[in-house]
A and B are shown apart, each in its own frame.
Chain A
């Protein structure tokens, strides 16, 4: 329904513009194609972009690609046909969303990638380094364990960019801390229920040698936490997640979860609109802007809870 409205809106706007070339509305227009609006983080991105665009007096046309790179490419083609002034792309996939970038550049329309990358190089990129989130989380574990102890890594869905990069970041920190022993790294597929089961099995396999669990997302961290609490072992194990979802922030505040890592969706959304506007005005733009992650612990959690 929402998507139908957006499409209808897009069509209406498109007709209006071709009819009387921007006579009534001189505001710059930015077309936005988002990965998936049923993902909490992407919703945050959209809200950040919408509010920032309003402040800057820019008109946004927002489309949801619903995880389909094919649909995403079609949406960008529609933006090109509508002659938008710039495009912000929140890519579905590294390879499959690349044609969207190439087509926009070929049509002479600047395109900004936000949050994740495509193989084709856009006019500008605004996002975060996934490796850095894992580096922050694992460094916190190294700190808490004073560089010594047995560590477990719960990985995301194998083969996805976030799983690979977060795995790299975590292992970098392990390599720098020879006292940290990697007991095992297994996937729980980003899933809380699978994480509970995996943690139960790990408790049997590694028992008291477990001193910390690094989960590549908060859903899995919450699962590991539940299993540890049920086994009465949480007090000896540090648990850290990534993403700062509402449940995890609550658990950090209650002193159950040790830490999570906040990805700044607000900063990324605003940064993408800023970059697109500078490109429209032909002002110089950073080719790649990295918005830093932030570690969330009990001391600073209050400022992250909305």
Chain B
């Protein structure tokens, strides 16, 4: 059946509540209803807390890469950066070594530094982002192996592992994701840089003609994305109480998938953080639900793929052709 979006354009203004992603919201609710019917404890407070905890790392990465995708670029180095920054943080987080802030800041700075290199290679050297960040993916993974000597870096101070714990029943990683998402959403909406990200991704020539420093805007996107990957790396290290040089394999694909499910265009210029959070949540619920239902591992992968494609297709059918920019 062909997907005709023009018919539904009249409905759009009402959908802004769901960041303009009715299709994904419907898919999410339908999935939740099915899971609740099959497994009543899906809706238990403990399990929903679980889902929120489990999506946090992918969420932080996805919010960061949203900025890069908006400019029309891509960042494939995220998973390797998670490993590298986790190893860096774990090295500085042995009990009694440094105050808690040191490993956290070092992880974020290491991520930001790699992001800056990505940005510089893309904007100064003119290397396509796919290749630049692919190179960074390999190099950062190698650096993580060198720094850790190929072994997990353990003996982590409980102060840092508490970053993966709960505060008043709410998982700390989820609170971090909420803060990050709110800050980036606000930036996209209210700061000049945020609006420029859309402009650069929408039409680079026009943006340049309008006097926007296109290269600077792109650089900022990679820098932000790298810093958030660093934050995600620190949170992951806290969650698994070690810095793992082999951690984070293919995390970039999960993050990019979530962003695209959430309506951000791979070609740039359209999308936003609200949709990204919905995408992250949808992927998290799928993973959690398949485990609860004990779907065999081979089939899990098939089901996951089908649901993701189905959700995006359904969503695109209910998209307005004109007003797509939701934040």
CB–CB B47/A204 < 8 A? yes
Tell me the bound Cα distance from A192 to B82 in angstroms: 14
Q: Which of B186-194, B215-223, B259-267, B288-296 contacts A (4 or more CB under 8 A)?
A: B288-296
**Once the chains bind, are A201 and B288 in contact (CB under 8 Å)?**
yes
A56 at the interface (CB under 8 A from B): no
Q: A193-B236, A193-B244, A247-B242 known; A230 and B165 CB under 8 Å?
A: yes
Residue of A38, A40, A192, A193 with most partner-chain B CB within 10 A: A193
Q: What separation, in Å, do the CA atoms of A197 and B154 have in the docked complex?
A: 19
CA distance A250 to B151 in the complex (A): 14
Nearest-Cβ distance from residue B40 to partner chain A, whole angstroms:
11
Set of chain B residues within 8 Å of A183, measured between Cβ atoms: 294
Indicate whether B145 reaches chain A with its CB closer than 8 angstroms.
yes
Q: Smallest CB-CB separation from A158: which chain B residue? A: B297
Which chain B residues in 284-308 approach chain A with CB under 8 Å?
287-288, 291-292, 294, 296-298, 300
| Interface residue? B54 (CB, 8 A) | yes
The answer to the question of B106 belonging to the interface, with a C-beta cut-off of 8 Å to chain A, is no
Residues of B within 8 A of A160 (CB): none
Contact with A along B295-327 (1 / 0, CB 8 A): 011101000000000000000000000000000
Chain A residues with CB under 8 Å of B297's CB are 155, 158, 185-187
Give min CB distance, A256 to chain B, whole Å. Answer: 11
In-complex Cβ contact of B50 among A158, A192, A200 (8 A): A200
Contact of B240 among A185, A187, A192 (CB under 8 A): A192
How big is the B interface, by class? 35 or more
Contacts of B244 in A (CB 8 A): 192-193
User: How far is it, in angstroms, between the C-alpha of A82 and the C-alpha of B86 when the chains are bound?
Assistant: 44
Give Cα A197–Cα B171 distance, bound, in whole angstroms.
14
State whether B41 touches A197 (Cβ < 8 A).
Answer: no
Minimal Cβ-Cβ distance residue in A for B251 = A193
Give the most central of A43, A155, A204, A205: most B CB within 10 Å: A204
The interface residues of chain B lying within 8 Å CB-to-CB of A202 are: 291
Q: Flag if A201 contacts B50 (CB, 8 Å).
A: yes
Given contacts A39-B150, A155-B297, A158-B298, contact A201 B292 (CB under 8 A): yes
Q: Is B202 an interface residue (CB 8 A)?
A: no
Q: Point out the residue from A38, A193, A205, A246 that lies within 8 Å of B239, measured CB to CB.
A: A193
- Bound Cα distance from A184 to B291, whole angstroms: 9
Q: Main SS of chain A's interface residues?
A: helix
Choose one: A186, A196, A223, A226; the contact of B294 (CB below 8 Å). A186
B53 at the interface (CB under 8 A from A): yes
CA distance A191 to B240 in the complex (A): 10
| Inter-subunit contact B150/A204 (CB<8 Å) | no
B-side contacts of A196, CB under 8 Å? 239-240
Q: Contact: A200 with B54, CB < 8 Å?
A: yes
Question: B240 and A226: CB pair below 8 A?
Answer: yes
Q: A38-B145, A186-B291, A201-B292 are in contact. Are A223 and B240 (CB under 8 A)?
A: yes
Measured CB to CB, the nearest residue on chain A to B249 is A191
The reply to whether B240 and A205 contact each other, CB–CB distance below 8 Å, is no
Check if B145 sits within 8 Å of A204, measured CB to CB.
no
Is B154 a contact of A205 with CB atoms below 8 Å?
no
| Contact pattern, A 19-58, Cβ under 8 Å of B = 1, otherwise 0 | 0000000000000000000111001000000000000000
When A and B form their complex, which 5 residue pairs have the shortest distance between CB atoms, in order from nearest?
A: A201-B291, A187-B297, A204-B47, A184-B294, A205-B292
> 13 pairs across A/B with beta carbons < 8 Å?
A183-B294, A193-B247, A196-B239, A197-B291, A200-B50, A201-B291, A204-B44, A205-B41, A205-B294, A219-B152, A222-B242, A230-B165, A246-B154
Known interface pairs A191-B247, A192-B152, A204-B44; 17 further A-B residue pairs with C-beta atoms within 8 A, sorted by A's residue number = A38-B150, A40-B150, A186-B294, A191-B246, A191-B249, A193-B236, A197-B54, A201-B50, A201-B291, A204-B47, A204-B50, A205-B292, A226-B239, A230-B165, A245-B152, A247-B154, A250-B154
Q: Name B residues whose Cβ lies closer than 8 Å to a Cβ of A.
A: 39, 41-42, 44, 46-47, 50, 53-54, 57, 145, 150-152, 154, 165, 236, 239-242, 244, 246-249, 287-288, 291-292, 294, 296-298, 300
